[in-house]
Homo-oligomer: A and B are copies of this chain.
Amino acid sequence: MPKEIPCIAIDAMGGDHGPQIVIPGALTAARSKGLSLILVGDEKILSQELKQHKTSGLDIEIVHAPEVAGMSEKPSEVLRKKKDTSIGVAFRLVREGRAQGVVSAGNSGATLACGMFILGRIKGIERPALASILPSEKGPTILIDVGANVDCKPYHLVQFGLMADVLARDVLHIKEPRVGILTIGEEEGKGNKLVKEAVELFRMSSLNFTGNIEGRDVFTGKADIIVCDGFVGNVALKLMEGLATSLTKLLKAEVKKSLLARVGFLLGIRALRRFGRRIDYAEYGGAPLLGLKGIAIVCHGSSSSKAITNAVHMAATFIRNHANEHLVEGLSANKDLSIFAKNALPHL
């Protein structure tokens, strides 16, 4: 079998800082062997930016897209009114087989919408989900879903587990990922209706299900994958960002109280910022949108070039290690559970 070279379509216009940040980040990733790029956006602007960089020997192409999805535009309106945005064209390239993955730091709602409607779901996947890779005391932990689906059924949560399972194995190289469910008590039977029903399904699944995870155990590494609905996951993610920001301010205020403390605190703030950045996806570059016919990495609008580099690497690893094929196998191994896509558990 010839080695496949992953091709990643980059939404080069996306993000708060646009091509000046996105292109150098993507180029750094392309300098690793075995990776090709398609930069999508305004041809003139992209060519101009590309001239600033060394690109000899790199497998790079520009594909023109005349429009941009604004950071605050409604996803539904982007889909309806703007047919040729950089993010939309990037997903069309994957649909046409010219690329296998998309990286975007643009309007994340538009990225989700274009991913679902232009690229489409893997057969059998009910709801694509957004995963966030968080730091824990024992290594990376996947929190899924962090905002793609606000109202979920129990079976959706099991599918989130299956998607995160391939991410953990094929991208994070975790051998037997332990899957937990985010809830309000360690003991079995604790949770809301959604969680209680999902626990029953997880127990019937092929996943290495370890039971309940409380909020206080998200960072202790008690599970490699923590499943929740997208409302809870998004609130949780933003709460962490907010807490890290407020703690930084708190420490800064403390600094003023003591000269001796100043140096130490500055280092402390640096550690906190580092933590904040890890939550902000910089370490892994972005949040993978899973369950699509391809892969999309949703980066923060304020992403650094380094975050873009890491996101491209994550997309390429995902493709190289055939994660979506493994997801199809996972779905197939759990196909008995698919009857719960439409029906509730009879005894609950």
Binding site for B on A (CB under 8 A): 136-137, 147, 150-151, 182-184, 191-193, 195, 214-220, 228-232, 234-247, 249-251, 254, 258, 260-268, 271-272, 275
With a cutoff of 8 Å between Cβ atoms, the chain B residues found around residue A245 in the complex are: 216, 219
Q: Would A219 and B242 count as touching, CB distance under 8 A?
A: yes
Known: A192-B150, A220-B246, A243-B243. A235 touches B215 (CB 8 A): yes
Cα A192 to Cα B152 in complex, Å, equals: 10
18 contacts between A and B (CB under 8 A): A136-B246, A147-B184, A151-B192, A183-B235, A195-B231, A214-B235, A215-B234, A215-B239, A215-B240, A215-B241, A215-B242, A216-B242, A219-B245, A220-B242, A228-B235, A254-B267, A260-B263, A261-B267
Given contacts A184-B235, A243-B244, 13 further A-B contacts (CB under 8 A): A150-B184, A150-B192, A183-B231, A184-B230, A184-B238, A215-B240, A215-B242, A220-B242, A232-B235, A235-B236, A236-B236, A260-B263, A264-B266
Q: Would B263 and A250 count as touching, CB distance under 8 A?
A: no
Q: Which residue of B lies closest to A267 (CB)?
A: B261
Give the copy number.
Answer: 2
With a cutoff of 8 Å between Cβ atoms, the chain B residues found around residue A216 in the complex are: 238-239, 241-242, 245
Contact of A246 among B137, B246, B260 (CB under 8 A): B137
Contact of A260 among B238, B249, B264 (CB under 8 A): B264
With a cutoff of 8 Å between Cβ atoms, the chain B residues found around residue A244 in the complex are: 243, 247
How close is A335's CB to chain B, nearest CB, in angstroms? 29
Contact of A267 among B235, B265, B271, B272 (CB under 8 A): B265
With a cutoff of 8 Å between Cβ atoms, the chain B residues found around residue A235 in the complex are: 182-184, 214-215, 228, 232, 235-236
With a cutoff of 8 Å between Cβ atoms, the chain B residues found around residue A150 in the complex are: 184, 191-193
Q: Which residue of B lies closest to A254 (CB)?
A: B271
Known: A260-B263, A263-B260. A184 touches B219 (CB 8 A): no
With a cutoff of 8 Å between Cβ atoms, the chain B residues found around residue A236 in the complex are: 215, 235-236, 239
Cα A320 to Cα B25 in complex, Å, equals: 62
Name the residue in A136, A184, A237, A266 with the highest tally of chain B Cβ atoms < 10 Å from its Cβ. A184
Cα A247 to Cα B273 in complex, Å, equals: 11
